[in-house]
Amino acid sequence: MTPTSDPTPDGSLPVIAELTDGARDFRLRMTVIDRESEVAFDMTCDRYGRTVHTGAAAAARAHRNRAAVEAYTTHLAPHADALLDAARRALDELHPARHLAGWRAVLDGLAASATEIRRALDRPADPGSPAEHAQHSALWPHLAAWADHSFIAIDLADQNKHHRHKAPLTDEEQQTWTQRAQAAQQRGELERTESWYAADGQLITLAHLIEDDDSTLVALRGDPDAPSWQVIGHYAHEYEAGKVLPVPVPPGVLSADVSRFNRPVPVPGVSLQELIRDVVEGRTAGDASEALLGAVQRGYIPGPMVRLQELLETSSRFASALETVQGRQIAARLSALGRQIEFLTHEVEEAAEDLGATVAVLPPHRTPVLRIRPRPAVDTAPPTPLARASVTARHR
């Protein structure tokens, strides 16, 4: 949902817009740099993801760091401090909520990174020198922090142009609409379309309330699967809802220390497609056994089945972190599926070992088929085509 906004009475909106636009342009440029760098790094790795061209990898990393410094200098250096000041002022005006302490810590971290970046930019090393490469490398974590987390400062700075929610329903109307929505939910006719958190930490959900083939857009406050949710408004369409409902705040993250722009080095691995190909091209039971064992391998290079279990466990943590009734239920399902995958992994491992112990080979009558048939001899006459009269006519 995209809320509407109006200029503030004191005329400060153009200044705020300049600050936030610069930060958004920096994040966009960093996204482009990140994608280009991934392509460059991929070209320095072998089929398993291991870096084999160290010189090219170092050159790609130096190019990435230099481009990030240039992006910060162009888009954020003139505005970083003012953006943080505007974000802190907006933060001080918000009502107390669970997430505000975390946001304040993010702003403090961004301020520290801005100080480090400014200190380096004030004393630049000689262009192209090893000292410059080292300087840019040291700045990369700070640049990545701004690319990762400046969206919080942007959202807070934009708070001055956000409208305030006004409850359109009286207490009696709210109770009536809540009862209608609860009845529709029991019938399976309350279709949710979007949800977000407001600045006060309340969960807001848009849903279509269907009654007698008629649909009304309603807004719910609270977890729709918990007993305490309420309808706080009904609207003709989403645009009307966006004008009066509390504006969304940035959603949270599953792991606080995860960085999109500063990811750890990928762990080498073998794809499931390669393992299948190894079985198809294999000749002995040991070939198929090795492929199966590769799928369930643990340790530094985990196999696809181990990765699948890790995916299920991580997704279970994500569903639980939603802190909703359905999220907890789905988390339990995913956790149970993860345990099933773990059991299946042990079964595959035992079957693979038994297959390898057979010390068998494929029988020789399973001969290969040539993909390209041999050409006929030069003096061989081409086959005589059928006479047209001998071709059976086809009638419709």
Give the type of residue at 46: D
Q: Which two tokens stand for residue 308?
A: 């699948």
- 260 φ, ψ (degrees, to nearest 5): -70, -35
CA-closest candidate to residue 74, choices 13, 117, 137? 117
Residue 370: predicted pLDDT: 82
- Is the model's pLDDT at 56 over the cut of 90? yes
Q: Which of 92, 134, 93, 142 is nearest to 117 (CA)?
A: 142
| Token duo for residue 290 | 């090795």
Give the angle subtended at the CA of 245 by the CAs of 243 and 251, to the nearest 5°: 115
What's 353's DSSP letter?
Answer: H
C-alpha angle 207/323/264, rounded to 5°? 110
Q: pLDDT for 273-323, tens place per residue?
A: 999 999 999 999 999 999 999 999 998 889 999 999 999 999 999 999 999
SS3 content of the chain, % helix, strand, coil (to 5): 55, 10, 35
Overall average pLDDT of the 122-146 stretch: 94
Q: How confident is the model at residue 264 (pLDDT cuts 50, 70, 90)?
A: confident
Give the length of the chain: 396
User: pLDDT > 90: what percent of the chain?
Assistant: 73
What's the rounded Cα separation, in Å, for the pair 221 and 199? 13
230-235 vs 203-211, strand pairing mode: unpaired
- Could you tell me what percent of the chain has a pLDDT over 70? 89
Q: State the Cα–Cα distance between residues 118 and 128, nearest whole angstrom.
A: 19
Helices vs strands, H then E, count in the chain: 11, 4
Phi–psi pair at 68, nearest 5 degrees: -65, -40
Q: Give the tens place of pLDDT for each residue, 89-104.
A: 999 999 899 999 999 9
What is the enclosing helix (H) or strand (E) of 14? helix 13-42
Please provide the distance, in angstroms rounded to a whole number, between the alpha carbons at the two ends of the chain.
58
pLDDT, tens digit, for every residue of 194-239?
Answer: 999 999 999 999 999 999 889 999 999 999 999 989 999 999 999 9
Question: Residue 29, Cβ neighbours under 10 Å: how many?
Answer: 19
The string of DSSP codes covering 273-316 is HHHHHHHHH--BHHHHHHHHHHHS--SSS--HHHHHHHHHHHHH
CA dihedral 151, 157, 158, 160 (to 10 degrees): 160
Scan for tokens 């038994």, then name that residue. 354
Taking all residues of the chain, what is their mean pLDDT, rounded to a whole number?
A: 89
CA distance 41 to 62: 12
3-state secondary structure of 167: coil
Distance between CA atoms of residues 144 and 163, nearest Å? 32
Prediction pTM value: 0.82
Amino acid at 118: R
At 374-383, the pLDDT tens digits run: 676 666 666 6
pLDDT at 393: 46
Per-residue pLDDT averaged across 161-169, rounded? 64
Give the span between the Cα atoms of 112 and 207, in whole angstroms: 42
* 217 neighbors 206 (Cβ within 8 angstroms): yes
